[in-house]
Amino acid sequence: MKYRTIGTNQATSREVSVLALGAMLFGTVTDESTSFAILDRFVEGGGTFIDTSNNYAFWADGGLGGQSEELLGRWRKSRGVGGEIVIATKLGARPRTPGTGFVDNPEGLSAKAMAEAAERSRERLGVERIDLLYAHIEDRTVPVRETVEAFGALVEEGTVGLLGVSNHAIWRVERARALAAAAGLPGYEVLQYQHSLLRPRYDVPEPLFPEGSLGHSGAELASYLGAEPNLTLVAYSPLMGGIYTRDDKKLPYDYDHPGTPARLAVLREIAEETGATANQVVLAWQTSGGLPIIPLAGASSLAQLEENLAAVDLELTSDQRIRLNDAV
C-alpha cells in the first residue's frame, strides 16, 4: 500500500492509504458478514481510509439512514480498531423524516442540525472524535458563515478533526474557506467529488442539480487543486458502477457523447499493454497523477476489493498517462 497525508494542521492531519474504501452499502445491500470480510481484508492489505455518511443508505428501506455508520461501529468494536484507521463521514443530507430524501427534506447545514448530526454519528461509529467530517450537500437556506462557524466549534471542542466538503459549487467552497481563514477558524481541506477517466458533459442539467451537476469534478476543480496544494480530492465513483468492465452497464446520459468512445479505446489498449484490468488502470491513473487524488471505491465482494487493491502497485508509463489524458 502507498500513503498520502491529508490536512496541514499537525493536530488533525492524517496519513491515509492512497485508496479509500467506500462503505455506503455496508449493512444494507451488502450484509454484515460480507461487509466485515471486506473491511478486514482492506485493513490487512494496508488500507487505512474508510468513507461513509450519516444518510447511508436511507433509500434501502425508506428510513433515515445510518446503517453504514452503525455497521462500522460494530466492526470497530469487534476488531478493536483504534485511531490507526481513519473513518470519514458526512452530514447535511440525512432526511428529516422517513420516506423523504436529501432533495426535498434534508437536515441541512445549520449550526443546530450540524451539532446534533455530528453527535449522532459519533454514537453510531463509537468514536470520541470523527477523523474527517464533510458537508455532504449545499444548503443555501443557511448563511455560509453559520456553517463555517459550526464546523469550527466542532473542531474546537475536539469532536471533529479534519473538515471536508462534497457536491458544492466551487465558488461556495472558496467563500467558506475564505471566511474560515479570515476568522482564524479551520476550513475545508478535503474535497469529495465524482471523478473518473471518462468526462461528462457539464452543460446538461440534472434533475437534482438544475445548474448542472455540482458533484462532478471538472476543469474548474482541477485548476483549484493546482492552485491550492494543501487540498486533497477524494474521488467518489471512480469506476462508475462497473461501466469499464461490464457490458450490461449503460452509460449515464451525460457521458454519452463523442469523446467517450475515444477514451474507452485508449483505456482498453493500455489495459492490454499492462496486463491489468480497465478498472485497475483507471485507479492507477488517479493515484499516480500530478494532482492529489485519492480514489474512493466501494466493493461488494472480496474479489472486487482484491482487484482494487492490486491497482495501487500498477505503474503507468509517462506515455500511457499522456495517452489517457489526451484522448478525445
Select from 66, 75, 22 the least CA-distant residue to 47.
22
107 in Cβ contact with 63 (< 8 Å): no
**pLDDT truncated to tens, each residue of the chain (328 aa)?**
999 999 998 889 999 999 999 999 999 999 999 999 999 999 999 999 999 999 999 999 999 999 999 999 999 999 999 999 999 999 999 999 998 888 889 999 999 999 999 999 999 999 999 999 999 999 999 999 999 999 999 999 999 999 999 999 999 999 999 999 999 999 999 999 999 999 998 887 665 555 556 788 889 999 999 999 899 999 999 999 999 999 888 888 889 899 999 999 999 999 999 999 999 999 999 998 889 999 999 999 999 999 999 999 999 999 999 999 998 8
For residue 57, whether the previous peptide bond is cis, meaning omega lies within 30 degrees of 0, is: yes
CATH number of the domain residue 244 falls in: 3.20.20.100
Q: What is the pLDDT of residue 233?
A: 98
Cell representation of residue 15? 496519513
pTM of the prediction? 0.95
293 in Cβ contact with 287 (< 8 Å): yes
| DSSP label at residue 255 | G
Helix 318-326 vs helix 278-287: angle between axes, to the nearest 10 degrees?
A: 100
> How many structural domains compose the chain?
1
Domain extent, residue 23, equals 3-326
Q: What is the pLDDT of residue 209?
A: 58
